[in-house]
Structure 1
Amino acid sequence: MKKYILLFSLLSFALTAQVPKSIPFEENNRQRIDEITSYLDDEPAGFGYSYKNRTEWEKVRNKIDYKAVMERAEEVLNTEMPPWDDDLYLEFSRNGLRPPGEKMLNARKSRLAPLVWAECMENKGRFVPKIESTLRELISHRSWILPAHDTYLNVFYGKKHEVDLVAAAFVHELAETLYFLDDKISEPVRQEVIDSMYVRAFDPVKDALKTGKGYTFGWFNNTNNWNAVCLAGVTSAAVGIIKDKRERAFFVAAAEYYSQNSVLGYTDDGYCTEGLGYFNYGFQHYIILREQLYQRTKGAIDLFKSEKMKKIAMYGINFEIINGTYPAFADCRIGTTVSPLILWYCNHNLGLGLAAYDRLDDNDLRPSVLTAMLLFPNTAQQTSSHIDGSAKVEGKQPVRMFFDKAGVLICRPEKMSDHSMGVALKGGNNAEHHNHNDVGSYSLIVGNETLAGDPGGPYHYAGAMWTNKRYTFKSISSFGHPVAVVDQTLQGAGKEYEAEIAGTDFTALRDEYVLDLTKVYDCPNLKSYIRKFVYDRTGTGSLLIEDRFELKNAGSFESAIITLADWQENGGKTLKLSGKQHTVNVKIETSSPKGYTLIPEKIQENGPEFSRIGIRLNEKIKTGYIRVFFKVE
């Protein structure tokens, strides 16, 4: 049986900085726990109200897609629970395949929420027996965590219990279910659920906070999405179901303290190195945690007080290139856009002044804990979207956004058109959260199509992507990114492999961004490698990329174009990249009298197929350059 050893220090649990460990937590924070105890109500509570508040549930019925919810609930009511399958769960540990086990788990767990919401809206009791049998089925799972996170199958075989992303979300859903349905759930079933929550979630978390050890403690002390997601789920479950006030306060105090790590995971300019998809996921849960603590403590704890919070909230606006299109840096799919729910919530709570996000579009909301937070009374509903009279704006973006701490530059045209070009240019380092070895990468957009640059991905993970084999995947290594191969050497993985910003020259019509990429390659023969980007926003826009290098001894040098578009040689030294609606012409120049050779390759690794077009110099030389010039046709 293969074992997939997680590289916590470098990959999924990569750390940038942390608040000091506070272990054992209760002993070191008794005064704060006592203070928080005084803030809490005598009874636990979740988002919204129980089914007994008919006025509020009638409002929900008119906001959510009632017909769709009821249809799904009827479907669940009249079908049997898909079976638990040990073999599907074990498929990851055997072959490194995530989808089989995850689909099996999701098929079972997705049946609960529509039943609960249908019962609360209809209030006839006809869904209750199915809800109770579903609860018993779900809590009986051999594991509440994903197969990919049960590395040594300790949870599967009952040796110990741990809490991961999905277990945390699951206990929150369980707590919200019991809170919504109140006395509709029989006491025996209620107690079974609560007992399971203690064994599978609360006890492992308390043990981690006493010892600072174990898998579960990892997400307390890391700075990526796990921190916010797991804290939001476990803390919401605790405040929603635990009777003892001081025990609830213990979980709240731990969340207040360790959620600082989540904020530290963003650069000081608000940039999310994990990519936009994980920003949507992680920051959405940070918002859930913030709202939960604010409501339960009557505003005494507010996780939005950090000065950095506005910059983080604006990431989804500032990171846009043009026309609702974003770079697919890190683990992110091309086509991912910012969550409007995040921007609506932050717009009101942080006074962002974004007219486009003044109102919540609830047409597509489906039963979930997030929907419960959004539809029932919350701080965003009670706050204006502008503060101190600051004017709302329609959000015309400036021609550039420079995340100087992250080393990422967004360049936009002065006058937007359906054929305008915009680009994102990436520096940074190769130890970022969900890191790809992609320092010096870029994304080139025409209209709303990504025609060249970072290919994004993966769309689902292979097991080995989180092992020491991660950078053997071409799509994650620098080979599958639009950066150079220097004397047959790819970029190294680690924080020391970082770009230095060698120069900037920003004007109204032209942005020049120069990166020194010498440190990014562990190549003894490399003396200097400078990549210069020149974005010209006149007309429909153009982008020049110049790779200039110096080697100690004559060696090979190869740059690359990455594209998901169709492409063809155009004769001479030009290529044409053709998307569904737009086309760019590509001109290639080199310093070598012997020219270059194009080396095309198709790459597909758990995501859409893309083309890597290698541009390899035809001779080994000590100094030289390759220039690639993109111009909209």
Structure 2
Amino acid sequence: MINLREIKKALIYGNDNDYVLFPEVREKSVMDFIMNSEKHKTQIEEIRLNSNLALKEPSPIINFKIFKEFEDTGNRLHFENAYFKRRRQLFSLILDYIMKKNQAYIFIIEEKLWEWCDLYSWELPAHFDISKENIEEGGELPDTTVALFAAENAFFFAEILSLIGDELDEFLVFRLKKEIFRRVINPFKNRNYWWETAEMNWASVCAGAVGATAIYLVEDIDELSFIVDRVIKSFDSYLNSFDEDGITAEGLTYWSYGFSFYVFFAELLKDRTSGKISLIKDNEKIKHIARLPQILQFPSRDFVNFSDADSEKWQGDCGLFAKLEAELDIEGYNYENSTSLYSDHAFRWASMVRKIFWYCDTYKDSKGPTALKKVTMSNNGKSNKEEDHVLNKDNYLTGSFYFKESQWLVDRRNINGNFVAFAAKGGNNDEPHNHNDLGHFILHYKNENIFMDLGSPEYLKEYFNDKTRYDFLTASSLGHSVPVINDSEQKYGRLSFSKVIDYKTTDSKILFKLDLTRAYRIKTLVNFEREFIWDYKLLELTINDSFNLNKANNIIKEAFITKVKPELIEKGKVRINADNSIVEMLYPENLQCIIEECNFKNHSGEETTVYRTSFLAEASYIEAYSFKIRLMDK
């Protein structure tokens, strides 16, 4: 690990060598290429449309009522919609100004920056405490809370000042810098934060954003060295959220969030030290982490969305992809639909601007290589015959990916020209953004998640309270393809865990067997094992569940979650007519089939309907049930 003395020495080296921060955005040749590039044409049009809209629209009102709404009702969408719209307006105008240098934009940019200076807190109400108890105890106040969005804004504004500060009013620049120091840098210098040691995305986003802000604004070498040292230590905590093979229990959505800020800071630090410090190169674990989208994202942009990953298609980030390919000499990202600057509802400046200026560095299309290529991946579990996984002619990986430490299995195949994937998970029920989902699975065929994960719901106050979180369908085991045993769902907590009994592959089959007894922690359950047998050539998934109970009269509900409503064809057979395929599920004829409609609000607050198909069994001491799922073309 790099130490404080080495950091200071590298920063001095940067001074001596006339460092340039984010050089891509400052080079005229790059700008000329972007303005005349066909592949940036859509991005430039996006900016034009949104900046024209920003010129016409008033800034959204953020008043006391919506400021207090999360505290009073638990609703966060009204505040966040206004907050993020303010971001979209400002950043669209600035991007358009950087591209065209239209001086007419300066006045409105200044007005909108002034509004941000006036906003009481840069943090979201979900991340600060305005209770009477917190105030009386001298707790952290909203205007100096350093959490995700205050840190982000400090970074974004510092970078914007670096790019166009000389063209803005001097007093505005003075005030904005003062606000950045008052709200973020000074509080960070004077206290420690829980997220600095959190093994999750917060450690990367908060620390990376604070560190990037400091790189832009802190001139004193000793002070900057101190901040950079703390940021790098926080990054160590963040990297601990990944196992050695690069998987994170937070899922792909939070991979994108946390890892992007790791890379943003890492590249700025490399610029600031004139190349002396790189937190990306020559690090095998970083390379594994960088490959995660190639494993979890499917060609249709559906993805393995365990935990609080979104249920919508994952767009990716062309700027981040391009930088990782350039720095790590890897390829295989799905660039299709990854170029939009407005796909992220939070409108993060750092990602928006780098989608333009890092992506332009690639000078290539999004179709990928034209020949098959073997890609060496780490596999710390039992190796299968495809340890060198194939990057095929359509630029996506195929093969079986088993993550021993996290107990995730992802199998990706091209069968007769159709993409098919199976994913299943173990682990424990106290993971970051946890769902009670041990033994749950996803089955994807021909551009659809047939058996699905619900992803994250609308984020309400109660969702982040362990006492009420599992009342939400998406987090409870009722929202996953796992059984209910004697009216008991899986329990929350680290004591609820699975054990991998077996993982092995043959020519066309993959076996993954889990002991799920501890997931339920009920006295009547002596043992519960679930075995997946995935035959990818026959497109058949067999699920074998075996139960050992300590009493004679038991009720077991085997449950399966789908987006499309299944149809009971006959006793022992259920059919799902998906958009592009037909799926048949065979089940023991002595079980009662119950098909239920389940409704919940997704992450965007939209009403969503899914279906839970339960198979009800009256069980004795020892029981076993087998389910076979067949994927067929229409």
Residue of structure 2 equivalent to 1:7:
none
- Rounded to whole Å, the distance in 1 between the matches of 2:4 and 2:212 is 21
1:135-189 deviation digits (Å, cap 9, x = unpaired): 1101211111111112336799957611121111111111122111132112111
For 1:58 and 1:379, the matched residues in 2 are separated by 11
Match of 2:74 in 1: 96
Helix, strand or coil at the partner of 1:250: helix
Q: 130, 145, 149: which one pairs with 2:108?
A: 130
Query: Does structure 1 residue 548 correspond to structure 2 residue 546?
Result: yes
Does structure 2 conserve the Cα–Cα contact (< 8 Å) formed by 1:266 and 1:272? yes
Identity of aligned residues (%): 23
Identify the residue that residue 6 of structure 1 maps to in structure 2.
none
Quick one: distance in 2 between partners of 1:29 and 1:167?
Answer: 28
Equivalent-residue separation in structure 2 for 1:574 and 1:67 (angstroms): 51
The range that moved more, 598-607 or 364-373, is 364-373
The aligned counterpart of 1:344 is 322
Residue 188 (structure 2) pairs with residue 205 (structure 1): yes
- 3-state SS, counterpart of residue 270 of structure 1: coil
- What is the identity, as a one-letter code, of the residue corresponding to 1:417? G
Structure 2 residue aligned with 1:22: none
User: In the TM superposition, what is the alpha-carbon distance from 1:308 to its structure 2 partner?
Assistant: 0.8
Higher relative contact order (CA 8 A, sep 6+): 1
Q: Deviations over 1:386-416 (max 9, x none)?
A: 9xxx988545634311112211112244634
- Rate the CA distance shift 1:267–1:97 in 2: closer, same or farther, 3 A: same
Alignment match, 1:368: 349
Amino acid corresponding to residue 548 of structure 2 in structure 1: E
Match of 1:31 in 2: 5
Structure-2 residue corresponding to 1:484: 483
1:385-464 equivalences under 5 Å are 394=392, 395=395, 397-413=397-413, 415-418=415-418, 421-458=420-457, 460-464=458-462
- Structure 2 counterparts to residues 570-589 of structure 1, below 5 A: 570-589=569-588
Structure 1 residues 212-258: Cα deviation after superposition (integer angstroms, max 9, x where no partner)? 3xxxx122111111111112222112111233333333322222222
Q: How does 1:321-360 map to 2 (within 5 A)?
A: 324-337=301-314, 339-341=316-318, 342-354=320-332
Whether the aligned pair in 1 keeps the contact of 2:24 and 2:358 (CA below 8 Å) is: no
Post-superposition offset of 1:307: 2.2
Equivalent position of 2:221 in the other structure? 245
- Residue 309 of structure 1 and its aligned partner are, at CA, apart by 1.2
Return the letter of the residue paired with 1:238. Answer: A
C-alpha change, 1:463 and 1:293, in structure 2 (3 Å) is same
Deviation string, structure 1 residues 246-277 (Cα, Å, up to 9, x no partner): 33333222222221111111111111211111
Q: CA deviation at 1:379?
A: 12
Residues 331 and 436, structure 1, Cα contact 8 Å, conserved in 2 = yes
- For 1:44 and 1:128, locate their aligned partners in 2 and report how far apart those are by CA, in whole Å: 28
Kept in 1: contact 2:317–2:338 (CA 8 A) = no
2:592 aligned with 1:615, yes or no? no
Q: Would the alpha carbon gap of residues 206 and 548 (structure 1) be closer, same or farther in structure 2, given more than 3 Å must change?
A: same
1:44–1:243: 8 Å Cα contact kept in structure 2? Answer: no
The superposition leaves residues 262-320 of structure 1 with CA deviations (integer Å, 9 ceiling, x where unpaired) of 11111111112111111122212221122111111122221124321111111111234
| CA offsets 1:511-537 (integer angstroms, 9 cap, x no match) | 111111111111011111010111112
In 1, Cα distance between the equivalents of 2:437 and 2:482? 7
Please report how far the alpha carbon of residue 486 of structure 1 lies from its aligned counterpart in structure 2 after TM superposition. Answer: 1.7
Q: Which amino acid aligns with 1:38?
A: I
Taking a change above 3 Å as real, the CA distance of residues 29 and 423 of structure 1, as seen in their structure-2 partners, is: closer
Picking from 568, 589, 596, the partner of 2:591 is 596
| Contact 1:462-1:606 within 8 A present in 2 as well | no
- Secondary structure of residue in 1 paired with 2:512: strand
Distance change >3 Å, CA 530–CA 94, structure 1 → 2: same
Are residues 507 and 163 of structure 1, via their aligned partners in 2, closer, same or farther at CA, if it must alter by over 3 Å? same
- Separation in 1, partners of 2:260, 2:321: 10
Q: Is the 8 A contact 1:50 1:181 kept in 2?
A: no
User: Does the CA-based 8 Å contact 1:430-1:492 persist in structure 2?
Assistant: yes
SS in 1 for 2:85: helix
- Answer yes or no: is the 8 Å Cα contact 1:596–1:616 preserved in 2: yes
Q: Give the C-alpha shift of residue 430 in structure 1.
A: 1.0
Partner Cα separation in structure 1 for residue 142 and residue 163 of structure 2: 33
Q: Mean Cα displacement is larger for which, 97-106 or 110-119?
A: 110-119
Say whether the 8 Å CA contact 1:45–1:239 is kept in structure 2.
no
Contact between 1:421 and 1:632, CA under 8 Å: does it hold in 2? no
Rounded Cα–Cα distance in structure 2 between residues aligned with 1:362 and 1:574: 40
Structure 2, unaligned runs of 5 or more: 343-347, 376-390, 603-607
CA contact (8 A) 2:129 2:142 kept: no
1:556 aligned counterpart, secondary structure = strand
The count of corresponding residues between Structure 1 and Structure 2 is 585
Q: Name 2:383's counterpart in structure 1.
A: none
Structure 1 alignment gaps of length 5 or more: 1-18, 20-27
Residue 44 of structure 1 deviates from its aligned partner by 8.6
* Residue in 2 that maps onto 1:291: 267
Q: Name the Cα RMSD after superposition.
A: 3.0
**Equivalent residue, structure 2, for 1:151:** 129
1:524-570 deviation per Cα after TM superposition (whole angstroms, max 9, x unaligned): 1111101011111223x011111100001122222101111121100
- Counterpart of 1:524 in 2: which secondary structure? coil
Q: What's the counterpart of residue 345 of structure 2?
A: none
2:201 equivalent in structure 1: 225
Matched AA of 1:176:
E
Check whether the contact 1:328–1:336 (CA below 8 A) recurs between aligned residues: no
- From 139, 144, 168, give the equivalent of 1:185: 168
Matched, 1:47 2:22: yes
Query: 564-573 or 330-339: which moved more?
Result: 330-339
Check if 1:164 corresponds to 2:147.
Answer: yes
Q: Note closer, same or farther for the CA distance 1:376–1:625 as it changes in structure 2 (3 Å cut).
A: same
Contact 1:480 1:562 in 2 (8 A): yes
Q: 1:374 to 1:421 in 2, by over 3 A?
A: closer
AA in 2 matched with 1:31: R
TM-superposed CA distance for 1:371, in Å, is 4.1
Counterpart of 1:16 in structure 2 is none
CA distance in 2, matches of 1:168, 1:474: 32
Q: TM-score, normalised by structure 1?
A: 0.85
Offset of residue 55 of structure 1: 5.1
Counterparts in 2 of 1:180 and 1:41: CA distance versus 1, 3 Å: same
**CA–CA separation in structure 2 for the residues paired with 1:483 and 1:489:** 11
> Is contact 2:322–2:362 with CA below 8 Å preserved after alignment?
no
What secondary structure does 1:197 align onto? helix
Please say if residues 528 and 545 of structure 2, whose CA atoms lie closer than 8 Å, have aligned partners that are also in contact.
yes
Counterpart for residue 8 of structure 1:
none
What residue identity is the alignment partner of 1:402? Y
The DSSP-based 3-state class of the residue aligned with 1:457 is coil
Q: Is the 8 A contact 1:32 1:253 kept in 2?
A: no
SS of equivalent to 1:274:
coil
Distance 2:406 2:33 in 1: 44
**In structure 2, what is the equivalent of residue 12 of structure 1?**
none
Alpha-carbon distance in structure 1 between the residues aligned to 2:217 and 2:417: 53
Asked if the contact 1:88–1:104 (Cα under 8 Å) also holds between the matched residues in 2, the reply is no
Contact 1:489 1:522 in 2 (8 A): no
2:265 aligned with 1:281, yes or no? no
TM-score of the superposition, structure 2-length normalised? Answer: 0.85
1:329 deviation in Å?
0.7
Q: Residues 145 and 184 of structure 2 are in contact (CA less than 8 Å); yes or no, is this contact kept in structure 1?
A: yes
